[in-house]
Amino acid sequence: MTLFKQIAILLSIFLFTILTTVLTLNFKSANDSVQDRLYEDAKNTATSLSLSLGSANGDVSMMSTMINANFDSGNYHYISLVDVDDVLIFDRKGESDLSGIPSWFLYFVSIEAPVASANVSAGWSQVGFLNVQSDETYAYMQLYTILKSLSISFGLIALVSLIVLNLILVAILKPLKEVQKQAEAVMRNEFIIQSSIPYTKEFKDVVLGMNNMVSKVKAMFDKGNEELKRQKELEYIDKTTKLRNRKYFIDKLPEYLKIDAVSHGGINIMIAFNGVVEANEEIGHRDVDNLFVEISNIFSTYAKEYENSMVARMNGTEFSILLPDCTPINALDMAEEISRKTQKLIESLKLNKDSVYLALGLYEYSYKENIGQLLSHSDNSLAQAKFKDAKIHLQKSDNVVEVMGKEAWRKIINTAIDNNSFNFVSWTAVDAKTKQINHNVLSLTLNIDKDTRYAYGQFMPAANQAGLSNKIYKNILDMMFQTPDKNLKGTTCSIRLPFDYLEIGSTYEYMSKLFELFAKNLCFKLIIEMPDKLVRQNNDKIKRYKTLFEKHGIEMGIFEFIGESIDYTYLQNLRPVYIKGEADYFLSQSEQALSAFRLITDTVGISLIATGVMKMDTLKDLQEKDIHIIQGRVTEMIDIQS
């Protein structure tokens, strides 16, 4: 219960007690006053009527007439006349009409009208005694009216008092409400500085303390952010040409060489600059560096023709241009243009073209290859190019041949979509330190029949090439939310959604409607993993996804992280539950870069998860860098604690 409610209830009880006490005392006073008035009225009537009866000289008929006249003109329950021997001479009684009084009031309020007596004398001779009792109906009606008036008055007083009390408490506790919001923000790893400082000393001290703490945490995040940006610039950028370097190229390649890559292959052009030593001797280091810059600009200009292309300086004399979805014919044309333009630059500096030249080795790669295969084949193609007159050589990959044709795959996948033939399979992300399962990673299988099943790695490349992957993801989201797997009840599960699917304008609207209808039916905790390539844009689209996920109790994770961003404040804004990167990426980071990165993630409560951990030696190396949550074959070797 909040402090506001506690204080409000306490003060309300206090106010109710006071008002009830005052109401009771007022009503009791009114009750006593009414009863006194009943006696006074009866006494006055008895006195005045006894004098009138004395003038009748004992005439019973005349006295009866006088008694009737008084009874009819007043509010009396009983008037009687008895002689000196207590023998009744005449009496008159009336019936009390209490129909207008609620029964509960009659139950709680009891009124007894007193009897007033007076002597009746005719001269010096005593005729008898006159007894008068007022009718209590009038008293009941008067008290009931008084009670209603008091209740309404005190009710209005209570209402006004409660409203005033509420306004006063809101004003007094407003700083505390802001402190509560600030504390909740800290729990969500948000940094909020409260600018409005309260006057109340206790609240003021708390606000200043919270502001100081949040400022320090934010300063830590900003320091880590700046340090990581500086380290990434040192680690990923070539100082001379401002191109990406070999380390970036290696860290980025897994995005292109994977099962669900957007591109199924392309061309990697490995370029070697021969004769650097001779060029330095002839024109000097500075002019050679300027030459490298101009050549780099040529590379970048041609690479821009292909989406998601990558240009990197691999070492002092070698460059690489990765061109996804580029055909061999187009790549050869590009290589010839690059060779021609660079040769003109070399000749313009009056360098010997026989000793100073570019060799271009073209390799047609496939998404199925690993990094080592791509680099070794590219180097081999470059070596072949150096022995050719044109200094250009094209080598094709052996992995480009598909076992099944595109049309056959298209038919199988379309049938699976129509028949909902996809099933979830899962493997685990494990915390090797605590030996606990961190979460289950969901993947897919395509089931044709009980004997024919295709794994994710078999059908998804074909689906990407056929343009059917987005339909598959829509299908599996429908399946996940509309018919959730009861076997996953009580667990935490993650599912990856690719860049292209999330970029489609209709995806957000579709997911919003799906979550609104079915998110409450999920029997497990869901984490949706989004590619860092999309998340680091930190635009309104990503923020809308984040808001949508939070609304329905879904958390966000990041995968394919290589620290490519120029600013890491998006991690603070979006606060993913974890970041996944290849094990090789984490192991290749310098101590300074990883320390700065850990400062950022620890500040905002983000876990780091290494993927593709296949050997125990790799796990040990990761643990030395304080990374304990892993995915990969090694998880099968860890004794999971139940």
Burial of 598 (0-12, 13-18, 19+ CB in 10 A): middle
Residue 390's pLDDT is what?
A: 85
Which amino acid would we find at residue 565? S
Query: Cα torsion at 154, 158, 160, 165 (round to 10°)?
Result: 150
Structural contact between residues 461 and 264, judged by C-beta atoms closer than 8 angstroms: yes
pLDDT tens figures, 554-600 = 999 999 998 888 888 888 888 899 999 999 999 988 888 888 888 88
Q: Tokens for 171, please give them.
A: 């004003």
Under a CB-based contact definition with an 8 Å cutoff, are residues 541 and 564 in contact?
Answer: no
Total count of residues recorded for the chain:
642
Task: Give the list of residues 6+ apart from residue 483 with CB closer than 8 angstroms, or none.
Answer: none
How far, in Å, CA of 453 to CA of 432, rounded? 32
Here the tokens at position 470 are 């987005």
| Cα 272 versus chain centre, distance | 51
Tokens 């999330």 found at: 502
pLDDT digits (tens, 9 = 90+) for 126-144: 777 888 877 777 777 777 7
Q: The sheet that has 115-122: what strands, in order across it? A: 88-93, 76-83, 125-134, 115-122
pLDDT value, residue 398: 62
**Look-up of token digits 């309104």:** 540
List beta partners, residue 417.
none
Q: What CA–CA distance (Å, rounded) separates 529 from 609?
A: 12
Instruction: Say if residue 195 is exposed, middle or buried (CB neighbours under 10 Å; 0-12, 13-18, 19+).
Output: exposed
Give the Cα-Cα-Cα angle 271, 362, 364 (nearest 5 degrees): 140
- Give CA separation, 519 vs 333, 481, 512, 513, 574, in Å: 52, 6, 10, 10, 21
Measured between alpha carbons, how far is residue 93 from residues 68, 120, 132, 353, 388 in Å?
10, 20, 10, 142, 140
Token representation of residue 386 = 């150096």
**Residue 317 corresponds to which amino acid?**
T
The series of mean pLDDT values per 10 residues for the chain, 642 residues long, is 69 79 77 75 78 73 80 75 78 72 73 76 74 75 79 83 81 72 70 72 75 76 77 81 91 86 87 89 88 93 92 93 93 93 88 85 89 90 88 76 66 87 89 92 85 80 81 90 88 92 90 93 93 88 92 93 85 90 89 87 90 92 93 88 68
Name the amino acid, one letter, at 411. Answer: K
* pTM for the model: 0.67
Task: Indicate the burial class of 251 (C-beta count within 10 angstroms; 0-12, 13-18, 19 or more).
Answer: buried
| pLDDT for the residue numbered 540 | 87
In angstroms, rounded to a whole number, what is the distance separating the alpha carbons of residues 155 and 144? 16
Angle (CA) 87 93 95, round 5°: 155
237 forms bridges with which residues in the sheet?
Answer: 244
